[in-house]
Amino acid sequence: MRDFGVGIPRKDQTRIFERFERAVSSRNYGGLGLGLWISRQVVEAHGGVIRVESEPGNGATFTVELPYSPGNSD
């Protein structure tokens, strides 16, 4: 997923996946700082990883990678 928001400084890109952490002030932007933490918990529970690529002023791209395991179609 890609957005065109304010972007996330490199120093905050790991921290934003922690519980109650935010890269921006809650005065200017709503939210509790739980959405990315919950997303990471779900992705990791399925054996995957989530990451962000961003620069201030250029939005952000979030990538989720999940393992593929062919299912039994019987």
Q: Is the distance from CB of 23 to CB of 14 less than 8 angstroms?
A: no
State the pLDDT at residue 71.
Answer: 75
Secondary structure element (H or E) that encloses residue 41, with its range: helix 35-45
Contacts (Cβ under 8 Å, ≥6 apart) of 29: 22
Longest dimension (CA), the chain: 53
Q: Which CATH number among 3.30.565.10, 1.20.120.1200, 3.20.20.70, 3.30.430.20 corresponds to the domain 2-65? A: 3.30.565.10
Give residue-wise pLDDT tens across range 9-61: 999 999 999 998 887 665 666 788 899 999 999 999 999 999 999 999 999 99
* Structure confidence at residue 2 (pLDDT): 87
Report the pLDDT value the prediction gives residue 69, as an integer from 0 to 100.
82
**pTM of the full structure:** 0.78
CA distances from 35 to 18, 25, 50, 74 (A): 10, 15, 13, 37
Structural domain boundaries in the chain: 2-65
